[in-house]
Amino acid sequence: MPRIAVGTENDSPIEIHYEDHGSGQPIVMIHGYPLDGNSWERQERVLLPAGYRVITYDRRGFGRSDQPAVGYDYDTFAGDLNTLLEHLGLEDIVLAGFSMGTGEVTRYLGTYGSGRVRKAAMFGVIPPFLLKTDDNPEGVDAEVFDGIKAAIVADRYAYFKDFLDNFYNVDKLGGTRISDQAWQASFNLAATASPHATYACVGTWLTDFRADLPKIDIPTLVVHGTEDRILPFPNTAARLSGLISDVKVIPVEGGPHNIGWTHPEEVNDALLTFLAE
């Protein structure tokens, strides 16, 4: 099981798990909260036969990676990503992120630049800035995130039930685009994630990426569900056209947050077309 050290906690190494399959141009895929790298299975299934090398990894605190109590901020997350890219010696990369993973893509490019990266693809995006402030009236009230933290502290398992129902829009798509078993698999991942990480990551959702976005100087694809209840389209994806110089925004009509699972045909067609351009 491949792992690399990305830091330390109390003199003990912090290691993250990764998977590296196929050959060809490398696509590094960064998962969303509270999942792991295997959540890209419906994309990996088409990327490998199309001739791409697919690298996925589990963010610290999630999946098969270590569960430290430190490092839950986007500077550290981007540093973990950079360590992986350097470890594998990757060049000519496509960086792909979903949800929280779009923060890694954005902060990595804003901090480390695009020397290694040819293109970026983001699904269910968290940038530009979720928190409502005087200079960001399109954001979401801070009380919403305070409520999420309180719900996690009170009973994180009950919170995950509500979160995942809205993650997949189960009331509309249950039994058709999301099965009970697939929902349960996501719940199991959430339940086995670090209790500290599942709480600490909520604060990272309020990261201001507005200074990073203009630094993205490579072709960028954004695909986002129009009925996303976790990161609503008007507050996120709809705002990126004026912030990234070369971006194509594709709305998925009726799509929930995790469109990669519920709408794989639309997502995969958009991704493969973008990669071939």
Q: How far is CA 127 from CA 10, 61, 218, 224, 235, in A?
A: 33, 22, 17, 12, 9
Which residues are part of the catalytic machinery? 99, 228, 257
Cα–Cα distance measured from residue 236 to residue 264, given in angstroms and rounded to the nearest whole number: 21
- Side by side, which strands form the sheet with 3-9? 3-9, 12-21, 52-57, 25-30, 93-98, 117-123, 220-225, 247-252
Are 120 and 105 spatial neighbours (Cβ–Cβ below 8 Å)? yes
Q: With contact defined as beta carbons under 8 Å apart, do 14 and 8 qualify?
A: yes
- Give the contacts of 23 (CB within 8 A, at least 6 positions apart): 51, 53
If you search the block for the tokens 């993973």, which residue do you land on? 101
Nearby residues of 167 by Cβ (< 8 Å), 6 or more positions away: 186, 229, 230, 256, 257, 258
